[in-house]
Amino acid sequence: MKPDETCAAILLAAGASSRFGGDKLAAKINDEKVLERSAKALADAGCDMRAAIISETSKVHAPLLQNLGFEIIVNAHAHEGMSASLRAGIEWASDHNALCVLIALADMPFAPPAHLRSLLHSSQKCEERAAFTACGARRSPPAVFGSQWFETLRALKGDAGARDILAGLPARCAVKAPEKFLRDIDTPQDLDAG
């Protein structure tokens, strides 16, 4: 089966934007919203099943996401950190019988669709059925996890996300990327597209 038939794309977009001083997902990079860039890239990665995990605060973005083919999941526990959004996404993926998940962060708008597709393909070749983005020693999302990881992902707590899981994966699961792909938006100064 092709990745687009078995893998669910999950966009985590329930963060509080506390360091940004406003709604960073609505901020513009070259006349395009941060969220729009991230969502378009994920939509173009080739997964037929797509969901966006949002908070009550970020519900304003639901129409944009729905127009890009994302099912909307409102995370009532967003205050618990990224792990709560991951849990919500994994539950949704399980309900849709997904064999893997491609997880991307809404505030990382510089990773292109080609890199996301490389992660999908690499995860199929890696015996751990996982792939992560690597830049030097840094291990980061976007990342792919096969269904055998779902229970482990559901058990995560706090705001570290899947950091510990990524740290434990062998180097063969890495998909190298330039640093610019991993830039995230935390402050207004980060909006410079370079």
16 band by pLDDT with thresholds 50, 70 and 90: low
pLDDT tens per residue across span 145-194: 999 999 999 998 877 778 899 999 999 999 999 999 998 876 666 677 54
Interatomic CA distance for residues 93 and 35, integer angstroms: 21
pLDDT single digits (tens) 23-43: 788 888 888 999 999 999 999
As a whole number of angstroms, the distance between CA 32 and CA 192 comes to 12
Q: What's the CATH number for 3-191?
A: 3.90.550.10
* HEC sequence for the chain: CCHHHHEEEEEEECCCCCCCCCCHHHCEECCEEHHHHHHHHHHCCCCCEEEEEECCHHHHHHHHHHHCCCEEEECCCHHHCHHHHHHHHHHHHHHCCCCEEEEEECCCCCCCHHHHHHHHHHHHHCCCCEEEEEECCEEEEEEEEEHHHHHHHHCCCCCCCCHHHHHHCCHHHEEECCHHHHCCCCCHHHHCCC
Domain parsing of the chain, residue ranges:
3-191
Mean pLDDT of all residues in the chain?
A: 89
pLDDT of the residue at 1: 40
